Amino acid sequence: MSATGTCEYQPKDYKSDLKPIWCPGCGDFSVVQGIYRALAAIGRPPHEIAFVSGIGCSSRIPGYTTAYGFNSVHGRALPIAQGIKLANPDLLVLAAGGDGDGFSIGGGHIAHLIRRNMDITYIVMDNQIYGLTKGQLSPTSQKGRTTCTSRYGSLEEPVNPLLYVLAYGAGFVAQASPTDLVGMAATIEEAIRYPGFAFVNIQSPCVTYGEEAQQIKGLKAISESLQSLGHNPADRLAAMDLAQQYGNKLHLGVFYRNPEPPPTYGDLVKERQTLLSKDAPPKERILDLFIKK
């Protein structure tokens, strides 16, 4: 408790007793540190936070925090997070997982959370590989990449996660990396503060199955801060232009922040409930509304 009577939280308050079992050097260690720092800066107590993930190495992350956590089903972090948020609008809801979880099996969900402007922050640990299942191609693997499932090299173009969410109209789109932990924490904090769907793509190296160029040294060599480029985060088309360089350049910071965020789906649902509650039939007659007379 501070002198002013308010609770102040430290990053350690969001760290659980569970010891991470990631490979030594995995980028996800930095990501969880960035999340602790961002949550401490936001200052919500852990019991007011729900953290949902899918399945994958990266999806273990909620267990390493003191927030309510759900390491759920492969590709289904977003619909579960959405249900939690709608049923408990006052909770701060985070979702996280890998590039496979988010853009392969779960890729169909993102568009719908974006068009509803669900007030959820979605963090993808993009390592361009399926880590947990031991190194198969993922949707963000580079064309030509050889893995155990592509012995002669991948024939497919990678998904561009940044363009994907920008094209669907996401109101907040950013990128971070363990090469800049302070910047990563600040970016996650900003994403959480955005009133609506916020997406943060984090280039998080897989030291076991990832390529040399995607390790810390390689990432540093191609990283560039969007702020130092003078990028205006209110300019969506400029953000899309920069996002096209995904895979060649590692732009760090906020690509796009909608200066006039639309209402969230939660706000609209509440409004509709208030409007209809005046003439609402008793609960036991609710099905009558759907029966054709």
Enumerate binding residues for ligand TPP (CB under 6 A). 55-58, 74, 97-101, 125, 127, 129-133, 138
Tell whether residue 255 is a contact of ligand SF4 (CB under 6 A). no
To ligand TPP, the closest distance from the beta carbon of 227 in angstroms equals 28
Tell whether residue 207 is a contact of ligand SF4 (CB under 6 A). yes
Work out what residue 74 binds among ligand TPP, ligand SF4, none; the CB cut-off runs from 5 to 8 Å by kind.
ligand TPP
Q: What residues between 26 and 45 interact with ligand SF4 by CB under 6 A? A: 26, 28
Q: Which of 92, 206, 242, 254 binds ligand SF4 (CB under 6 A)?
A: 206
To ligand TPP, the closest distance from the beta carbon of 28 in angstroms equals 7
To ligand TPP, the closest distance from the beta carbon of 118 in angstroms equals 21
Q: Which of 117, 127, 141, 147 binds ligand SF4 (CB under 6 A)?
A: 127
Closest residue to ligand TPP, based on beta-carbon distance: 98
Q: Which of 14, 22, 51, 172 binds ligand SF4 (CB under 6 A)?
A: 22
What is the DSSP secondary-structure string of the chain? --TTS-----GGGGB-SPPP-SPTT-THHHHHHHHHHHHHHHT--GGGEEEEE-SSSGGGGGGGBSSEEEE--TT-HHHHHHHHHHH-TTSEEEEEEEHHIIIIITHHHHHHHHHTT-SEEEEEEE-SSBTTTTSB--TTSPTT--BTTBTT---SPPP-HHHHHHHTT-SEEEEE-TT-HHHHHHHHHHHHHSSS-EEEEEE---TTTS-GGGSHHHHHHHEEETTTTT--TT-HHHHHHHHTTBTTBEEEEEEEE-SSPPPPHHHHHHHHHHHHHTTPPPGGGGGGGGS--
Q: Which of 11, 16, 23, 45 binds ligand SF4 (CB under 6 A)?
A: 23
Using the contact rule CB under 6 A, the part of the chain among 183-191, 201-209, 217-225, 251-259 near ligand SF4 is 201-209
Tell whether residue 178 is a contact of ligand SF4 (CB under 6 A). no
To ligand SF4, the closest distance from the beta carbon of 211 in angstroms equals 12
Distance between CA 190 and CA 192 in Å, rounded? 5
Work out what residue 100 binds among ligand TPP, ligand SF4, none; the CB cut-off runs from 5 to 8 Å by kind.
ligand TPP
Sheet holding 120-126, edge to edge: 68-71, 49-53, 92-98, 120-126, 198-203, 172-176, 250-257, 223-225
Q: Which of 14, 103, 122, 209 binds ligand SF4 (CB under 6 A)?
A: 209
Interface residues with ligand SF4 (CB under 6 A) are: 22-23, 26, 28, 57, 127, 131-132, 206-209
